[in-house]
Amino acid sequence: MKKLISLTLLMAMGGMLWAQSSWIGQDASNKNYISTGMPILLIAPDAVSAALGDAGVASTPDAYSAHWNNAKFAFIENQAGISTTYTPWLRKLQVGDMNLFYLGGYYRINDRSTAAASLTYFTLGDIDMTDIDGQKINTLHPNEFAIDATYALKLTDDLSLGATGRYMRSDLTNGQTINDGSGNTATQAANSLAADIGLYFQKGIDNNQEYALGLFISNLGAKLSYSNDDNDKEFLPANLRFGGRYTNRIDNYNKISVLLDFNKLLVPTPPYTKDGVTYPSRYANNYTEYNNIGVIQGAIQSFYDAPGGFSEEMHEVQISTGAEYWYAETFAIRAGYFYEHETKGGRQYATVGFGIRYNYFSGDFAYLIPTTTVSTNSLANTIRISIGIDMKPTK
């Protein structure tokens, strides 16, 4: 489906286009959400965690661990594996050519270390650009992608450390020149480098019970710039995720796991105006100071700069919870829930899904069900499909 849209509108959407479009057409006077560039880096790339309410920092290690917690790779049981996921985008609006694609793989080097790599690719399809008279100028093919490499190492029999390097590119305008009313502005594709670091702890309680804990900091890297203006840059979606998992193998055929994740953006609160007053007050209607905040400074500042104090900082924490049931390690049923405070995006939804394992092959499916009308969600009522191949370790 072709979309008719002006270039100016495309630039205005920027990093807000996908993950945090919650307040379109609504009263945003009390909505102090945090926007970033390339929010696709936060979207669940797999149908497993997507069915668990986006919980995954301490889930069972698999080929998607680079997104949830890279340290989990060190505990992966198989020798090697590769998985891919296809995620349709904005299906409720009947947009047929916007999709998110993910490909990830790993190789266990030895009993204590694993290497992995992944590719994330997002396309907005074909966009017909028009002038102010509605005449077609040309057709753009905006897209974004990220590619990364990971190394995970067991520090002890129960604890592992992971490190990831990532290159990303966001090309929203294909180098077009726009006129924003004050003159022509040349645009460019935004490029950046980022790093992730994770910790994962996994320990058996007895022969049938196990618990795991995870801590993961992702997307710490240089800001994105879509023009030559140094005062017009966007933070990457630097992110802190921590949580746990409890697994109980009831008998030889039945196994149950429950998961709980807490998630927070490591991005400072941007300036906003309410009733003629600018918040946070330090900016005083001047974005220059905000734009000059460094990445590490911004990550630290994100814990204390909310205008509403501690209570508002708590509103920035997203909660994911999920449960998974396996029968004979062959068939799984999953369900979960994701909660985000209404002033910080308002995304609240239930998730369901199932998985199948047969020999080396796996297939997983997830479905997202919105539970509130406060916000819109790009993935509402869509099916995500993951397919994987895993090779068992050689004896």
Mean pLDDT of 31-43: 85
Regarding predicted confidence, which is higher, 89 or 80?
Answer: 80
CA distance 384 to 378: 12
pLDDT of amino acid 6: 39
Question: Above 70 in pLDDT, residue 19?
Answer: no
| Average pLDDT value for the chain | 84
pLDDT of amino acid 226: 84
Residue 221 gets which letter from DSSP? E
C-beta separation of 270 from 298 below 8 A: no
Question: Above 90 in pLDDT, residue 109?
Answer: yes
State how far Cα 223 lies from the chain centre. Answer: 17
Q: 186 pLDDT band (50/70/90 cuts)?
A: confident
Q: 30 pLDDT band (50/70/90 cuts)?
A: low
pLDDT of amino acid 385: 94
Q: Enumerate the H helices of 220-330 as residue ranges.
A: 287-291, 295-301, 310-315
pLDDT in tens, 211-239: 999 999 999 999 998 877 666 788 999 99
Q: Enumerate the H helices of the chain as residue ranges.
A: 7-13, 47-50, 65-68, 287-291, 295-301, 310-315
Question: Above 90 in pLDDT, residue 136?
Answer: no
For residue 366, list its beta bridge partners: 353, 384
Regarding predicted confidence, which is higher, 244 or 4?
Answer: 244
Q: 94 pLDDT band (50/70/90 cuts)?
A: low
pLDDT of amino acid 99: 86
Regarding predicted confidence, which is higher, 27 or 300?
Answer: 300
The contacts of residue 20 (CB under 8 Å, 6+ apart) are 33, 34, 35, 39, 345
Question: Above 70 in pLDDT, residue 371?
Answer: yes
Question: Above 90 in pLDDT, residue 163?
Answer: yes
pLDDT in tens, 259-273: 999 999 999 988 776
Question: Above 60 in pLDDT, residue 1?
Answer: no
pLDDT of amino acid 182: 59
Mean pLDDT of 117-122: 95
pLDDT of amino acid 394: 56
C-beta separation of 371 from 343 below 8 A: no
3-state helix, strand, coil in the chain (%, to 5): 15, 45, 40
Q: 23 pLDDT band (50/70/90 cuts)?
A: very low
pLDDT of amino acid 227: 78
Residue 276 gets which letter from DSSP? T
Question: Above 50 in pLDDT, residue 2?
Answer: no
C-beta separation of 291 from 231 below 8 A: yes
Nearest to 208 by CA among 160, 243, 257: 257
Question: Above 70 in pLDDT, residue 240?
Answer: yes
Residue 47 gets which letter from DSSP? H
pLDDT in tens, 40-73: 999 999 999 999 999 999 999 999 999 999 999 9
Q: 22 pLDDT band (50/70/90 cuts)?
A: very low
Mean pLDDT of 125-150: 80
Copy the structure tokens of residue 14.
């920027």
Copy the structure tokens of residue 162.
């992971």
Question: Above 60 in pLDDT, residue 110?
Answer: yes
For residue 361, list its beta bridge partners: 358, 389
pLDDT in tens, 303-320: 998 888 899 899 999 999
Copy the structure tokens of residue 145.
């992608």
Domains plus CATH for the chain? 3-391 (2.40.160.40)
Mean pLDDT of 196-202: 98
Cβ-count burial of 310 within 10 angstroms (0-12 exposed, 13-18 middle, 19+ buried)? exposed
CA distance 343 to 370: 17
pLDDT of amino acid 379: 72
For residue 261, list its beta bridge partners: 243, 320
CA distance 287 to 270: 8
pLDDT of amino acid 90: 65
